[in-house]
Structure 1
Amino acid sequence: MSTSIRVSDGTKRMLESLKKEDETFDELLERLVQSEQPIAIGAWSEEDADRARAAVKRSRESFKQ
């Protein structure tokens, strides 16, 4: 089965720049989709999250001065 999708000329040029010489557009799109990793919810421990919040807070406070 085959499906057509419409993309702008600019998008096609960007895809062509990512496409390997011996790769079909289908293979390119499959590679791009597979390389995207979903965000792991809760990936940080509570301790790491607290440190990150504190760092953001310190950063914001440094701009107030």
Structure 2
Amino acid sequence: MSTIRVTDEVKERLRDLKRDDESFNDLLDRLSRSEKDVEEMAGFLSEFDDGGLRENVRDTHEELNESLSGRRDE
């Protein structure tokens, strides 16, 4: 086990990022994962997706943008 020194300001920001069920160690582990780890995790859907997921996400994104735009104009 090691000790890491951080300023009070950094500790407060970390506390804001920390989930209720998470230790600071868990938080730092989650935040320090490499992009490669994320890419590997994201790739698991490709074996189940027939291409419709991307289209569905795009359509939902457009619908949300239109909805938000309409609310802004009111």
Instruction: Provide TM-score, normalisation by structure 2.
Output: 0.46
Partner secondary structure for residue 21 of structure 1:
coil
In the other structure, the counterpart of 2:7 is: 8
CA distance in 2 between counterparts of 1:17 and 1:23 reads: 12
For 1:13, what is the secondary structure of its paired residue?
helix
What is the CA–CA distance in structure 2 between the aligned matches of 1:37 and 1:10, rounded to whole Å? 26
Which amino acid is 1:7 matched to?
A: V
Structure 2 counterpart of 1:37, from 26, 31, 35: 35
Aligned CA RMSD, in angstroms, stands at 1.2
Larger helix share, 1 or 2: 2
State the distance in 2 between where 1:12 and 1:37 align.
24
Aligned to 1:3, the other structure's residue is in SS state coil
Which TM-score applies when normalising by structure 1? 0.52
Larger radius of gyration: 1
1:15 is displaced (CA, Å) by 0.2
| CA distance in structure 1 between the aligned counterparts of 2:30 and 2:21, rounded to whole angstroms | 13
Q: Which runs of 4+ in 1 moved over 2 A?
A: none
| % same residue | 42
Q: Could you tell me which runs of 5 or more consecutive residues in structure 2 were left unpaired when the two chains were aligned.
A: 37-74
